Structure 1
Amino acid sequence: MLIDSEGQASIAVVAHGADDLRVEEIPAPVAQSHEAIINVAFGGVCGSDLHYWKHGAVGESILRAPMVLGHEVVGTVSHAASDGSGPTEGTRVAVHPASWEPSDIRFPTDRPNLSAGISYLGSAARFPHCEGAFASQVALKTSMLRPLPDGLDLRTAALIEPASVAWHAVSRSGEVAGKRVLVIGSGPIGTLAIAVANRAGAAEIVAVDVHDFPLSIATAVGATRTLRADDTDAIASVDADIVIESSGNHRGLASAIRGATRGGTVVMVGLLPSGEQPVLASLAITRELTLVGSFRFNDEIDLVIDALADGSLNIDSVVTHSFPVTDALHAFKVAADPSTSGKVLLEFSQ
């Protein structure tokens, strides 16, 4: 059974190619029986959205057709799924952007984020592309929906998806309580990782960035000390048990390796460009560092929602700007300047 949202057009943010971002009407969403229609309230602009806008690609995921962007969204169910699954009409929800299909490529069954059969909202990794959710109304599988607790502000809830990425990254480092943590790159993922590490009981959290503004956000969410990225000697002397590398460039990774204590762990959550990258391999070997990759997340989204509900996760300061969807191009330009912005939100409906 298919339903639509009473024939209304949906206002969406669509990437047509490099430097070609448009706000335009798209057809009203049509839901299959296992899907609900969501009135989107807020969407967070992610680095991948910026890459599709500026370059028409994210790594090897290249736009081959216009695609609705966005995977960090929250909203309200306007039409519940006709098969009876999922939340009822009027329920406020966060969205887990991933869905899975069978794959013959092996992966650990307890780590579905590594499945080759995964698809992600707003991704050009496959063709036809997986349309995103930067639209006033979207039809989504009920398996992707997470009801929000009463009292949780939708503006804060818009951070649930990137906070889940950060939670997964911190959890990849092992026990955090009582440890010294170094975070390289204090953009939204880095500052959210600081907030998660602070909640987990880190004894000390040192934040690094090239700009002062993101370091002020880092302090607000739990960093005990900040360093500029060009102060390489100070970074090397941190001697951190755990390093979260969220800058996504090889210089940041070099700082992460230098700043780790002997026998320490470096979690690489910042996605470096595809292809070969320079790495301080000899230092990592002689210090017996553990280098760990971190990619997206699994069920951490439920832990994030619980932590926001009980007030133990302090992340409000990460949101710095909010713009109507009609000003999406300006919002993307603001989000592309990390010297003046943290997480930038698009406003759809509330």
Structure 2
Amino acid sequence: MTPHIDLPLLHRLLGLPERETPRALLRAARAAARTLPHLVLSLAERDGLPLGTGSTDELRRARVRAETYRRFLGLVQAEAGVRVMKGPQLAQRYPADLLRPAGDLDLVAADEARLWLAARAVLAVRQVEDIDLTVFQHSGHRDVVIALAWPSEDPLLDRGYKIEISTMAFPGDGGAVPIRAALPADPWLADLLALAEERHQRDFHAKDVLDVLVLAGDAPPGETVAAAAAGLYLAPELAELLDYAAGFASLGPLAPTLERLRAPAAAELARRARWHPAEAGAADSVADRLATGRPVYGMPLRQVSGREDWPVAELREVAGSTVLATPVADLLLVTGELVDPEQFTSVLRALGEST
């Protein structure tokens, strides 16, 4: 069942009276979420509203972005068997004449070897401007997140492209809600719970409601959804998301899930209240953060070739610093945004001398 998405619904979602003009609606959409204007423009086009040259080209660029992500998804699925969260998968549920806003492409790899296969597949066809890396060490296991970014067609107006590949589906809140690596096997559940997980990074907004509505028509039984959310520590976030969406439109077959979530959400909140963090070490070094399950970050030193037979990355000590040598790049592991330029230069020099 495809929901009816129209201008009055968008007015309600953005808190505008229906008498407000499409221009005011577009302004509100820009304030609410960076890519939401793309859906508003496609909706205006569908309803026959006149679009000028600027609006027409913005919508064209947004469609190019969505198609670019679809192509990359096909490529990395073929090369590495990764799975997608939301993005093109969720966009298929929207009415054919509407464009679901596309910001980044979020992919989940079953293990680190597949993550590097996916990254290598992207880098083989696309020169990137930036590589961001985050590493977590927990319970004797390493999780990696790599983001590959490059400029958009119009960098002054549009955010850049970014493909994020992770070995963990749900990163949690860095505290009581732990990392959960695997996506649910059911893509419907994976998408809905990925929406709920977003609450650990930001407040819910209009785009999330639209995503819930396009999922609602195919909802499995409420007890199935509630059990999956509880098992992934997401019952409070999913209850909040559905409560929020229900304030704007009927949840249809998804409505029974909300009541099924009340008890597990309360139980999860009680569990979090009892949680106490493990004591961190006295130092805040890379080694200390990894040992205590806190993230460290990768500053790109150089891209590399000739490591096609490397399945995973290696931690190395170089010039007194920790470097993650990966199948696609060497990165200086750091604990924050500020890094001593001399440290960076000395590590880069040492790497050059070792090759």
Asked which structure has the greater CA Rg, the reply is 2
Looking at secondary structure, tell me which structure has more helix per residue.
2
Higher strand share: 1
Same fold (TM over 0.5): no
Greater relative contact order: 1 or 2 (C-alpha under 8 angstroms, separation 6 or more)? 1
What TM-score does the superposition give when structure 1 sets the normalisation length? 0.24
- Alignment TM-score, normalising by the size of structure 2: 0.23
